[in-house]
C-alpha cells in the first residue's frame, strides 16, 4: 500500500491535503468494516470520525516507511471495542418487524450515484447481515476481516490483537455458525425457480 | 456461501465528510517528528543502564562478591542483562509495521518472569559472608522488591513515552515487556548488591521482581500510551 504510506508521510510532514487524500482512500473500507461490526450507520460514522481523530493525535507514533493501514484498522478495532464496552451494546439487534428503513439503507452504504451499479441479491445480503449480527463480536470481526474485507489471517490477527491461530479458529467457527444460520434462513425464490413454479402450476 | 459472497461484493460505503473536530485539528496541522524505534530502543537501553549503574554505585556492592563462583556471577549477570534487553526489543516493530511486536513481548515477559524465579530457586551459591533469610524472615526481603521496582522505573517510563499512540492493540503485553525488562534490570542490580543467597529470597524476591514489575506495568502503562 505504497500510496497510503506516502500520504501518511506527507501528512506527518504537515500536509493537510495528504490527510484528506488518506481519508478518501481509507475511510470507505474502514466504514464498511465498522458498519458490519455495528450495523448502525450513525454509530459507524461516529466511530470512523473518532478513529481518524485518534490517528491524528497519535500520528507521531507512525514509523516512516511502514504500512499505516493495519495500524489504522487496529485503532478502529480498539475504538469499536471501547464503544461496545461503554454502552454494552455494540450490536443493535433489530427484529424484522422493527426494522428501520434508514438503517437498511445505511448498511449497503451506497451513495445515490452508485445505486445503479451491479450488486448482489438484496435478500441474500440482508440475510447475511442478519446472520452476521447474531455471531459473537470476535467471530463477527474475524469473518468481516478475513472473508469480507479480504485481509489475510495474519493481518486480521494483527488488527484484532490476537494470535494467528486464535484468528483462524474464530474465523472458522464464525464461518461455520454463519453457514448454519444461513442454512436455516428461508431462501428467497430465484427467477428460475419462480418460472419453474409458474410453469408447473400451469 | 452465496450470501456472504454477495455481501463481500457490496460497494464500499460513502464516508461522511470530516467532522468539525477533525477540521479544527487540520487547521492547525504542524509537522511532527515520527517514531524512530531503533533510536528509541538504544536510548532506552543506554539511559536504563546508566540509571541502574548509578543505583548500584549509590548502594553497596555485595560483601560476598569475591567468595562466589565467578562463572555463576558472570553467567547469571549476563542472563539478567539479557532479561532486560530481550523483552524491550519487542518495542521495535517488524519491518513495515507501526505497532510493536506484542506477541513477542508477551512470550518474553512470561519466560523472563517464570525463568528468573526458577533460576533463583535452583541456583543460589553462597559464601561465608552471605546472608540467609529463609521462610522465617522471608518478609524482611521486601526491600529488595522495592529496590528492584525502583530500577524498573526508568525503562518503563521511557518506554511508555516512546510508545504513546503506537499500541491500539496488545498494549498490555507490550507494557508487560517493558516491566519485565525493567524488573530484570532491577534483578541485575540486586544480583550485584544483595548478599542474601537462600533460594527463597533469590528466587521469589529477586526473580519475583520481574513478574511484579511486568504486572504493574501491564496495569498502568496502557493508560499512559492510549490516545483519546
> Over the stretch B135-163, which tens digit does the pLDDT of each residue have?
888 888 899 999 999 999 999 999 999 99
d(CA A108, CA B13): 7
What rounded mean pLDDT belongs to chain A?
78
Name the stretches of chain B with pLDDT < 70. Answer: 1-2
Range in A126-135, A184-193, B21-30, B38-47 with the lowest mean pLDDT: A184-193
Q: Which stretch, A109-118, A131-140, A164-173, has highest mean pLDDT? A: A164-173
Residues of chain A contacting B19 with CB distance shorter than 8 Å: 49, 53
Task: Give A62's pLDDT tier (boundaries 50, 70, 90).
Answer: very high
Using the beta-carbon criterion (under 8 Å), do A49 and B16 form an inter-chain contact? yes
pLDDT value, residue A25: 95
d(CA A46, CA A140): 20
The pTM for the full model equals: 0.81
Domains of chain A: residue spans and CATH: 1-109 (1.10.1740.10), 120-188 (1.10.10.10)
3-class DSSP assignment, residue B97? coil
pLDDT value, residue B224: 87
Q: State what percent of residues in chain A have pLDDT above 90.
A: 45
Long-range (24+ apart) CB contacts under 8 A made by A156-160 are A158/A70, A158/A74, A158/B97, A158/B99, A158/B169, A159/A70, A159/A73, A159/A74, A159/A77, A159/B169, A160/A74, A160/A77, A160/B169
- What ipTM was reported for this prediction? 0.85
**Which of B15, B31, B35 faces A48 most closely, judged by CB atoms?**
B15
Residue pair B192/B169 in contact (Cβ under 8 Å)? The answer is: no
pLDDT value, residue A2: 59
Residue pair B40/B97 in contact (Cβ under 8 Å)? The answer is: no
Rounded mean pLDDT, A166-170: 93
3-class DSSP assignment, residue A54? helix
Residues of chain B contacting A59 with CB distance shorter than 8 Å: 32, 34, 165
Grid coordinates representing A72 are 489504522
Task: Give A134's pLDDT tier (boundaries 50, 70, 90).
Answer: confident
Q: Which residue has the higher pLDDT, A104 or B219?
A: B219
Q: Residue B166 gets which letter from DSSP?
A: S
Rounded mean pLDDT, A115-127: 62
Using the beta-carbon criterion (under 8 Å), do B12 and A109 form an inter-chain contact? yes
Range in A49-58, A118-127, B148-157 with the lowest mean pLDDT: A118-127
pLDDT value, residue A120: 59
CA distance A202 to chain B (A): 31
CA distance B32 to chain A (A): 6
Q: Which residue is it, cell 478475513?
A: A146
CA distance A201 to chain B (A): 28
What is the distance of C-alpha B58 from the center of its chain? 23
Q: Does residue A103 surpass a pLDDT of 60?
A: no
pLDDT value, residue B197: 92
pLDDT value, residue B51: 96
Task: Give A40's pLDDT tier (boundaries 50, 70, 90).
Answer: confident
Using the beta-carbon criterion (under 8 Å), do A53 and B31 form an inter-chain contact? no
DSSP E strands in chain A: the ranges are none
CA distance A199 to chain B (A): 26
CB atoms within 10 A of CB A43: 21
Residues of chain B contacting A124 with CB distance shorter than 8 Å: 2-3, 6-7
pLDDT value, residue A184: 63
pLDDT value, residue A116: 37
pLDDT value, residue A173: 93
Alpha helix stretches (DSSP H) within chain B: 2-8, 20-27, 37-58, 70-88, 102-122, 142-162, 171-193, 199-200, 208-225
d(CA B88, CA B184): 11
Q: Which residue is it, cell 507490550?
A: B174
CA distance B168 to chain A (A): 5
What is the count of residue pairs from A and B with beta carbons less than 8 Å apart? 184
Residues of chain A contacting B91 with CB distance shorter than 8 Å: none
Q: Does residue A92 surpass a pLDDT of 70?
A: no
Residue pair B97/A67 in contact (Cβ under 8 Å)? The answer is: yes
pLDDT value, residue A1: 56
Task: Give A180's pLDDT tier (boundaries 50, 70, 90).
Answer: confident
Rounded mean pLDDT, A41-53: 94
d(CA B45, CA B188): 14
Using the beta-carbon criterion (under 8 Å), do B34 and A59 form an inter-chain contact? yes
Q: Does residue A94 surpass a pLDDT of 80?
A: no
pLDDT value, residue B10: 79
Burial of B74 (0-12, 13-18, 19+ CB in 10 A): exposed
Residues β-bridged to residue B131 = B196
Amino acid at each position: 500500500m505504497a500510496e497510503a504510506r506516502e500520504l501518511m508521510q506527507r501528512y506527518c510532514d504537515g500536509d493537510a491535503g495528504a490527510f484528506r487524500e488518506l481519508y478518501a482512500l481509507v475511510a470507505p473500507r474502514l466504514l464498511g468494516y465498522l458498519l458490519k461490526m455495528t450495523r448502525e450507520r450513525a454509530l459507524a460514522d461516529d466511530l470512523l470520525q473518532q478513529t481518524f481523530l485518534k490517528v491524528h493525535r497519535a500520528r507521531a507514533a507512525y514509523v516512516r516507511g511502514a504500512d499505516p493501514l493495519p495500524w489504522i484498522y487496529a485503532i478502529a478495532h480498539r475504538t469499536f471495542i471501547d464503544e461496545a464496552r461503554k454502552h454494552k451494546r455494540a450490536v443493535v439487534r433489530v427484529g424484522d418487524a422493527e426494522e428501520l428503513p434508514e438503517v437498511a439503507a445505511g448498511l449497503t452504504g451506497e451513495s445515490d450515484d452508485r445505486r445503479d451499479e451491479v450488486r448482489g441479491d438484496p435478500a441474500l445480503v440482508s440475510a447475511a447481515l442478519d446472520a452476521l449480527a447474531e455471531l459473537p463480536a470476535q467471530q463477527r470481526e474475524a469473518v468481516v476481516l478475513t472473508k469480507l474485507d479480504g485481509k489475510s489471517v495474519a493481518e486480521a490477527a494483527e488488527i484484532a490483537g490476537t494470535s494467528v491461530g486464535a484468528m483462524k479458529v474464530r474465523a472458522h467457527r464464525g464461518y461455520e455458525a454463519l453457514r448454519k444460520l444461513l442454512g436455516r434462513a428461508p431462501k428467497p425464490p430465484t427467477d428460475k425457480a419462480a418460472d419453474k413454479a409458474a410453469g408447473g402450476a400451469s | 456461501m452465496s450470501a456472504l459472497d454477495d455481501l463481500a461484493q457490496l460497494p464500499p460505503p460513502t464516508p461522511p465528510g470530516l467532522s468539525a473536530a477533525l477540521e479544527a485539528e487540520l487547521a492547525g496541522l504542524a509537522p511532527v517528528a515520527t517514531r524512530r524505534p531503533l533510536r528509541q530502543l538504544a536510548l532506552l537501553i543506554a539511559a536504563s543502564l546508566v540509571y541502574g549503574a548509578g543505583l548500584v554505585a549509590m548502594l553497596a556492592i555485595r560483601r560476598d562478591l569475591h567468595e562466589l563462583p565467578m562463572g555463576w556471577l558472570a553467567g547469571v549477570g549476563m542472563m539478567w542483562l539479557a532479561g532486560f534487553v530481550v523483552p524491550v526489543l519487542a518495542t521495535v516493530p517488524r519491518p513495515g509495521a507501526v505497532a510493536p511486536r506484542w506477541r513477542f513481548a508477551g512470550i518474553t515477559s512470561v519466560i523472563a518472569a517464570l525463568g528468573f524465579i526458577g533460576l533463583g530457586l535452583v541456583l543460589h551459591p553462597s559464601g561465608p559472608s552471605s546472608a540467609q533469610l529463609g521462610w522465617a524472615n522471608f518478609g524482611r526481603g521486601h526491600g529488595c522488591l522495592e529496590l528492584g521496582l525502583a530500577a524498573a522505573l526508568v525503562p518503563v517510563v521511557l518506554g511508555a513515552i516512546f510508545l504513546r499512540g503506537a499500541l491500539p492493540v496488545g498494549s498490555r503485553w507490550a507494557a508487560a515487556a517493558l516491566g519485565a525488562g525493567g524488573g530484570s534490570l532491577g534483578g541485575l542490580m540486586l544480583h550485584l548488591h544483595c548478599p542474601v543467597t537462600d533460594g527463597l529470597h533469590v528466587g521469589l524476591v529477586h526473580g519475583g521482581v520481574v513478574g511484579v514489575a511486568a504486572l504493574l506495568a501491564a496495569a498502568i502503562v496502557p493508560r499512559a500510551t492510549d490516545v483519546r
